[in-house]
Amino acid sequence: MALRARILGAAAGGGLPQWNCGCENCTLARTGAIPSRTQSSLACTADGRNWVILNASPDIREQIAGAPPLHPTGLRESPVKAVLLTNGDIDHVAGLLTLREKQAFTLYATREIHAVLAANPIFAALDAALVDRVAVELGTPVEIVPGLRAELFAVPGKVPLYLEGDEVQTDLEGEQTVGVHLRTAGESAFYIPGCAALTGTLRQRLDGADLVFFDGTLWQDDEMIRAGLGQKTGQRMGHISMSGPEGSIAAFEGLGVGRKVFIHMNNTNPVLRPDAPERRAAEAAGWTIGEDGMEVTP
């Protein structure tokens, strides 16, 4: 079986253009000068018939409509057999409410993420008789759709914004933020849409990987401050930046990853502009800038 991965949404929360933003990227996207992008999500399959969606973005209805392999095959028959969540962020769970239409599928997440959903009664709209909620232990591979196994592992991050308290730790490692190692019989890939730092343990895990989809939220840590659009740095939001000596581009050097794809890019990120020097620098370092609808194989 061959692993197929289709980027449903390559943007971070808010998408591109963001509804209330008039920054350069959003303005260009509204005019069609650069491609728009929906919010973070990836669809994967091993057999071409049974698909899993990694993170249910608020744009999931639009994303499925634009992905023919995910279209219904009968009156109430969908190729989407499972959803897997990597954290409890709004841009990764809100789409579950769109999937409430009495459709059977399996919802995979860590116990901690399931607990976040269970604590909010609105997610009871997912009929328990049809949606099987399966808790996945870190480090324990599970077959999420036929022929495709996933192993979850902790990556540095933080709790969702709506769960933050007075003090926020942005480099927590546990069940609140995870990466996914996807495997078929002969291929594998990693999906890490949110990550605060590339630790030695994570570098060792990714060394020699065939394919990695990785957090590309910001080009530089103070990007949103410089743009006049906020007061938080990337680190405060729990995201490693692309550039700089502590950035992901530098951290991936020498790891021997076959293909590296940036996803989960904020609307301010200059790499979203095809003619930007930052885009050329990322591509010169061997990175692909993810776009909605892009299919990638190991």
Domain-embedded: residue 124? yes
Domain range enclosing 212: 4-293
Q: Enter the tokens of residue 159.
A: 């709790």
Please return the burial class of 68, using the count of CB atoms within 10 Å of its CB with bins 0-12, 13-18 and 19+: exposed
Distance CA 6, CA 13 (A): 19
Q: From 91, 203, 209, 104, select the one nearest 156 (Cα to Cα).
A: 203
Domain-embedded: residue 298? no
Please report the pLDDT score of residue 161 as a whole number: 76
Taking only the tens of pLDDT, the chain with its 298 residues reads 799 999 999 999 999 999 999 999 999 999 999 999 999 999 999 999 999 999 999 999 999 999 999 999 999 999 999 999 999 999 999 999 999 999 999 999 999 999 999 999 999 999 999 999 999 999 999 999 999 999 999 999 988 878 777 777 777 888 999 999 999 998 999 999 999 999 999 999 999 999 999 999 999 989 988 888 888 887 888 899 999 999 999 999 999 999 999 999 999 999 999 999 999 999 999 999 999 999 998 8
Please report the pLDDT score of residue 171 as a whole number: 78
Strand partners, 44: 5, 52
Report the domain count for the chain: 1
Please report the pLDDT score of residue 1 as a whole number: 72
Domain-embedded: residue 207? yes
Please report the pLDDT score of residue 39 as a whole number: 98
Measure Cα distances from 231 to 223, 225, 250 in Å.
10, 5, 25
What CATH code is carried by the domain that includes residue 57?
Answer: 3.60.15.10
Say if CB 69 and CB 79 are below 8 A apart. Answer: yes
